Amino acid sequence: MRRLGTDYIDLYQLHLWDEKTPLEETLSTMNELVRSGKVRYIGVSNFSGWQLQKAIDLSKQMGWEPIRCLQPLYNLLDRSTEWELIPVCINEGVGVIPWSPLRR
C-alpha cells in the first residue's frame, strides 16, 4: 500500500471461490483487514449463487464485515447471472459491478 501511496484500499475483492482454503479463514482475514482500517469494503467476483449465499450467511453468523458487492460476468450474451446471483444480491443488499458488459 505504501507503493500505491495510500493507507487503505476502498474495495478488496476475492477473485473466485477457493476450494483449498476454508471459507472461515478467508472471511475472517477479510474482516480483520476492514477492522484494522486497511480495507473499507469487501466484495467477491465469479462466485455462484450458493457460494455467495454461503459467504453472506457465514459473515452474518460470525458478526464479520458484510460482503458489499459482487462482480459477475454479465452482458447481453451471458445472462445466467439473473437466475441466482441477482436475486441473492437483491435479497441481501449486495451491489453488482458487472465485468465484460460489452462482451469484450
In degrees, rounded to 5, the angle at the alpha carbon of residue 38 between the alpha carbons of residues 34 and 39 is 50
pLDDT of 104 higher than 80: no
Q: Show the beta-strand stretches assigned E in the chain.
A: 9-14, 39-45, 67-71, 95-96
The answer to whether 34 and 65 are in contact (CB under 8 A) is: yes
pTM above 0.95, yes or no: no
pLDDT digits (tens, 9 = 90+) for 3-38: 989 999 999 999 999 999 999 999 999 999 999 999
